[in-house]
């Protein structure tokens, strides 16, 4: 778990900005924590390769979303 020197920086309260994650500024870059990071996981995909989330991860995403800690997933599978 990243400590106070992590690369995720939150704006000052009330600033209305977003969360910035810059791997080049992350103290964990190149460590085993980096290899297990969600940003590394998503960014290391090949073009056209799907992000696969298992049932437990999907449940956690849904719970965090319901609690207002994550936006809802917007993926809708095409039909036909």
Instruction: Give the mean model confidence (pLDDT) for residues 60-80.
Output: 84
Domain total for the chain?
1
pLDDT given at position 23: 84
**Residue 75 maps to a domain:** no
**Residue 26 maps to a domain:** yes
Q: Give the pTM.
A: 0.46
Strand, helix or coil at 3?
coil
Report DSSP state, residue 77: -
**Residue 35 maps to a domain:** yes
Kindly report, residue by residue over 4-61, the tens digit of the pLDDT. 444 445 445 435 556 677 888 889 888 988 888 888 888 888 888 888 888 988 898 8
User: What sections of 1-80 are H helices per DSSP?
Assistant: 32-35, 38-43, 55-66
Percentage helix, strand, coil for the chain under 3-state DSSP, each rounded to 5: 30, 5, 65
Tokens (6 digits) for 78: 């095409």
**Residue 71 maps to a domain:** no
């Amino acid at each position: 778990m990243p400590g106070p020197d992590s690369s995720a920086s939150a704006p000052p309260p009330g600033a209305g900005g977003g969360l910035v994650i810059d791997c080049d500024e992350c103290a964990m870059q190149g460590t085993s924590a980096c290899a297990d990071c969600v940003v590394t996981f998503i960014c290391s995909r090949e073009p056209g390769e799907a992000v696969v989330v298992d049932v437990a991860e999907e449940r956690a995403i849904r719970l965090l979303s319901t609690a207002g800690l994550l936006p809802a997933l917007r993926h809708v599978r095409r039909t036909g």
